[in-house]
């Protein structure tokens, strides 16, 4: 009896070990992927929207028969935009949930702790909602892939256009950012862009900060208001709730300059705040890594149709569109796998996509040496509480 029990235990241990090492997915009833993201706190809308987009893409694929007859499933864990919680979530997803890959983690400070865990466990780390250089190893890491343009590419397009159009000097630009890795990235990228536009070494660039996951922005606002003359442009490196409060304080004290932001801010969330309090968001110019929803493109038509099927009351957003695009790219890679679907075969399939088109109106590319699918940026503006396209041709920034 003892020998029988021992044999059973050894078999179970062997199967569990093999699954964790990327054993063929036929052992599993579903193809599970994981996401550690922000579902609570002042930035929760970003995680909820991105995960909704990925789930929408997965549900479409499942309705059409799945991948090799298997259904896709997304396991989403809340990290509250807190890196310590992200670490725990990543271990749970990889070691307990046995996910085949990680997709769509939100944020730079959470991403910089999540990525090494995925790499160590030889698990795909795809499409984190961040443009940070810190998550773009050079040369590319075999397990790390991106959909979106980098923050540097976003800021370069934003500032190059605005400064030229308005006759603004590089020294007349300031920064408001989170006091963390994300804020560091925005400032460093912005400074690099300003130097390329003519900023001199002796010219000081104002940089004010606030603590992540808070609305403690008033001291940063006060410091900036003391600068004379006021900067003509402020680059925002925060999330919608904190940026809205910062903008409100500055406008109340007479600031007349421009506010610009990269896509991480969450344009729809900021626009909704502006609907109630125009002073907190009206006129903000935002770079986006997906096309505006008013563009007549196949991917947007498909996305709008799919979310309507799931929830007729659901409002579309640029963040959930990005999640949908990320999910669709992953599905395209999965379809290329002819044999067993494992952690390793998924990574290999990502590198074999080459140049491909999913209806964005621009070509995408992923291969062994190129792990960032898109280098395109679009520009929108908040006007009367709505997001409107700025009439610029999309820009390939690489």
Q: What is the pLDDT of residues 83-122, one digit of tens each?
A: 999 999 999 999 999 999 999 999 999 999 999 999 999 9
- Report yes or no: 373 and 366 within 8 Å, Cβ to Cβ: yes
Spatial neighbors of 43 by CB under 8 A, at least 6 apart, are: 81, 106, 107, 213, 239, 240, 241, 266
pLDDT at 42: 83
| pLDDT level of residue 251 (50, 70, 90 thresholds) | very high
pLDDT at 112: 96
pLDDT tens-digit series, residues 39-69: 998 889 999 999 999 999 999 999 999 999 9
**Helices and strands, number each (H, E), in the chain:** 12, 15
Residue 229: asked if its preceding bond is cis (omega within 30°), the reply is yes
- Report yes or no: 327 and 53 within 8 Å, Cβ to Cβ: yes
pLDDT at 294: 85
List C-alpha distances in Å: 161 to 48, 265, 395. Answer: 32, 19, 11
HEC states along 311-328? Answer: CCCCCCCHHHHHHHHHHH
Query: ∠ CA(16), CA(18), CA(19), 5° rounding?
Result: 65
| pLDDT level of residue 392 (50, 70, 90 thresholds) | low
Distance in angstroms (rounded) separating the CA atoms of residues 124 and 163: 39
Does 13 have pLDDT greater than 70? no
What is the rounded average pLDDT of the residues 325-333? 98
Instruction: Give the chain's domains with CATH numbers.
Output: 22-149+295-367 (3.40.50.2300), 152-288+379-396 (3.40.50.2300)
H helices present in 229-336, as ranges: 240-252, 267-276, 298-310, 318-335
pLDDT tens-digit series, residues 211-222: 988 999 999 999
H helices present in 143-239, as ranges: 151-166, 181-196, 218-225
Q: In a 10 Å sphere around its CB, with 0-12 CB exposed, 13-18 middle and 19+ buried, how is residue 200 labelled?
A: exposed
Averaged pLDDT of the chain: 91
- R_g of the chain, CA atoms, integer Å: 22
- Tokens representing residue 22 in the block: 């990327």
Does 17 have pLDDT greater than 50? no
Spatial neighbors of 204 by CB under 8 A, at least 6 apart, are: 171
């Amino acid at each position: 009896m003892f020998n029988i029990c021992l044999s059973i235990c050894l078999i179970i241990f062997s199967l569990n070990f093999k699954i964790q090492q990327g054993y063929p997915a036929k052992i599993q009833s579903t193809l599970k992927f994981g996401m550690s993201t922000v579902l609570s706190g002042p930035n929760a809308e970003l995680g909820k929207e991105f995960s909704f987009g990925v789930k929408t893409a997965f549900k479409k694929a499942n309705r059409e028969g799945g991948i090799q007859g298997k259904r896709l499933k997304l396991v989403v864990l809340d990290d509250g935009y807190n890196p310590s919680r992200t670490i725990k979530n990543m271990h749970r997803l990889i070691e307990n949930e046995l996910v085949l890959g990680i997709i769509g983690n939100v944020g730079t400070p959470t991403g910089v702790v999540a990525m090494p865990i995925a790499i160590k466990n030889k698990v795909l780390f795809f499409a984190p909602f961040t443009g940070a250089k810190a998550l773009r190893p050079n040369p590319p890491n075999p397990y790390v892939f991106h959909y979106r343009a980098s923050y540097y590419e976003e800021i370069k397009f934003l500032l190059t256009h605005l400064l030229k159009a308005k006759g603004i000097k590089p020294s007349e630009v300031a920064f408001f950012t989170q006091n963390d890795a994300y804020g560091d990235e925005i400032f460093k990228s912005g400074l690099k862009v300003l130097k390329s536009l003519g900023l001199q070494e002796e010219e000081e660039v104002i940089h004010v900060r606030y603590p992540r996951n808070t609305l403690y922005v008033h001291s940063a606002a006060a410091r900036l208001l003391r600068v004379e003359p006021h900067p003509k442009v402020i680059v925002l490196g925060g999330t919608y709730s904190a940026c809205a409060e910062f903008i409100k304080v500055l406008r109340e004290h007479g600031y007349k300059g421009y506010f610009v932001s990269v896509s991480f801010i969450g344009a729809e969330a900021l626009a909704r705040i502006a609907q109630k309090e125009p002073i907190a968001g009206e006129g903000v110019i935002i770079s986006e890594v997906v096309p505006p929803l008013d563009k007549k493109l196949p991917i947007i038509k498909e996305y709008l149709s799919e979310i309507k099927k799931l929830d007729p009351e659901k409002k579309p957003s640029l963040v959930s569109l990005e999640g949908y695009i990320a999910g669709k790219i992953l599905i395209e890679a999965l379809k290329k796998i002819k044999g067993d679907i494992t952690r390793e075969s998924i990574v290999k399939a990502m590198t074999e996509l080459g140049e491909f088109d999913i209806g964005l109106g621009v070509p995408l590319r992923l291969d062994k040496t190129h792990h960032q699918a898109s280098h395109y940026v679009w520009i929108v503006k908040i006007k009367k509480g709505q997001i409107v396209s700025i009439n610029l041709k999309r820009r390939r920034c690489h």
